Amino acid sequence: MTRTEILERYRHLRAISKHHHHAASRFMAGSAIMEQAKRLGLLHGRTIVADSEAELTLASDLAVYTAKGGRSTPLDRYARAAPPTPGTDEALVLEAMRHARFSIWRIERRHETAGLVVFDLLRHNEGWLVDENMEAHVPDETAFAARLYEPESFAMSSGVIVPTTAAVIERVMHDAHAWRHETREQLLQDPRLATAVYRAAIKAGVMANVVYEPPGSLGRHRTMMAKAEPRHS
């Protein structure tokens, strides 16, 4: 596809993801946001106290995309209750969202047609990410945490992009060491990984320079990202 065709396709799929995200949020338990805010250190008594709206968005992301052991996510419950017609773009996007991969990524370079080539620092492979705002404003070598899913030959983000500095990574590794997973894949499948990254980002103060539009919006979130650490992996 040409650049214009790719971006038109991306915007179409992003609009569908916005609908799915808001629909799935209706399948969250009433206390879900409060529980996630507590895990992120944002709950004081019965009040959520955050320094920015971006921090609240992290709690919402966890509430929609993760679940306690053995339980289904709001996305899964929504998919069962209101499955889209098989073979449609709506079905394609929802299935991709349900299998979104959370990781820490590094921007390698601009894609030759549209978007970015990113490297998964935990799985050690490359991917193609289409995000108009990041392509326009975020420099190569930048590291970030995000959930990516692939409804097309390219990936899209869930709408939440978290800068990852050395301070953030150090806090996350301290948490992960206590989980004592035997394999890397077990760590990657653990929902506590995203929680640990988000909590570390809040404590490190890196969310102060991040502004999001509502999750699943047309990808026009404004993000001021921290420069990645030099490569040594």
Mean pLDDT for the stretch of residues 61-77: 91
Q: Residue 214's domain spans which residues?
A: 3-223
- Whether 230 maps to a domain, the answer reads no
Structural domain total, the chain: 1
- Whether 233 maps to a domain, the answer reads no
Query: Which of 16-20, 154-158, 165-169 bottoms out in mean pLDDT, i.e. has the lowest?
Result: 165-169
- Whether 232 maps to a domain, the answer reads no
- Whether 231 maps to a domain, the answer reads no
Query: Which of 191-200, 207-216, 222-231 bottoms out in mean pLDDT, i.e. has the lowest?
Result: 222-231
Which pLDDT score is estimated for 213?
A: 54
Which pLDDT score is estimated for 217?
A: 44
- Whether 9 maps to a domain, the answer reads yes
CA 182 to chain centre: 25
- Whether 228 maps to a domain, the answer reads no
Task: State pTM to two decimals.
Answer: 0.86
Which pLDDT score is estimated for 218?
A: 37
Query: Which of 33-42, 73-82, 114-123, 220-229 bottoms out in mean pLDDT, i.e. has the lowest?
Result: 220-229
